[in-house]
């Protein structure tokens, strides 16, 4: 049996699902995550690799160290839904999840990630206006945004005046 104090003010390195499954219900106020986007599972206009961006020697050019980012899509969506379910269970009654993802077009079809977030109480979609981008392809405008799903428990409220930030946030990676 684990207690909230087993997790507070600690950085726990591990598989997110196994770690979250040990956490009691409602023990954190906020979950913020940028999960792997499964972008190596791409037909061409996504990135095959090269996630080091403009730093040619970046370690990420070779992908993540423990994850190949290339799952069959159904399996990936199921995994992400399991992650969201655990996050939702461990946030408090006034807690929230900030779930960052990327919309993309594959074979002419928009993947708006609805298959991942459907059924979760989405309060708002925030646009993250990123600096730069990583697809230098003459056939496409440079991607400069991602989305952040704010998924909230019913009692979630912003801090006073925080709503002035608006729903387009510009910040560096």
Ligand X SMILES: C[S@@+](CC[C@H](N)C(=O)[O-])C[C@H]1O[C@@H](n2cnc3c(N)ncnc32)[C@H](O)[C@@H]1O
Per CB under 6 A, residues contacting ligand X are: 15-16, 34-36, 64, 66-67
In this complex, which beta carbon is closest to ligand X, that of residue 10 or of residue 164?
10
Closest approach of Cβ 5 to ligand X, in Å? 22
In this complex, which beta carbon is closest to ligand X, that of residue 2 or of residue 67?
67
Query: Strand, coil or helix: what is 93?
Result: strand
Give the H or E element holding residue 59: none
Closest approach of Cβ 113 to ligand X, in Å? 14
Distance in angstroms (rounded) separating the CA atoms of residues 65 and 87? 24
3-state helix, strand, coil in the chain (%, to 5): 25, 25, 55
In this complex, which beta carbon is closest to ligand X, that of residue 121 or of residue 146?
146
Closest approach of Cβ 153 to ligand X, in Å? 23
Residue that has been written with the tokens 């159904």 in this structure: 74
Distance in angstroms (rounded) separating the CA atoms of residues 18 and 24? 13
In this complex, which beta carbon is closest to ligand X, that of residue 64 or of residue 136?
64
Closest approach of Cβ 86 to ligand X, in Å? 11
Query: Strand, coil or helix: what is 121?
Result: coil
Q: What is the DSSP letter of 60?
A: G
In this complex, which beta carbon is closest to ligand X, that of residue 18 or of residue 94?
18
Closest approach of Cβ 32 to ligand X, in Å? 9
For residues 93-112, one letter each, b for 16 or more C-beta atoms within 10 angstroms of the residue's C-beta and e for the rest, the string is: eebbbbbebbebeeeeeebe
């Amino acid at each position: 049996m684990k207690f909230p104090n087993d997790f507070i003010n600690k950085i726990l390195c591990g598989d997110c699902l196994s770690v979250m499954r040990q956490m009691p219900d409602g023990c954190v106020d906020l979950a913020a995550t940028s999960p792997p986007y499964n972008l190596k599972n791409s037909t061409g206009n996504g990135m095959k690799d090269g996630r080091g961006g403009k730093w040619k020697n970046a370690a990420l050019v070779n992908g993540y160290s423990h994850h190949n980012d290339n799952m069959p899509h159904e399996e990936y969506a199921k995994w992400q839904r399991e992650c969201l379910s655990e996050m939702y269970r461990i946030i408090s009654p006034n807690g929230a999840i900030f779930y960052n993802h990327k919309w993309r077009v594959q074979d002419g079809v928009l993947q708006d990630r609805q298959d991942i977030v459907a059924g979760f109480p989405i309060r708002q979609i925030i646009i993250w206006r990123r600096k730069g981008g990583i697809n230098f392809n003459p056939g496409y405008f440079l991607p400069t945004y991602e989305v952040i799903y704010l998924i909230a428990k019913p009692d979630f409220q912003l801090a006073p005046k925080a709503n002035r930030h608006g729903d387009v946030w510009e910040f560096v990676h």
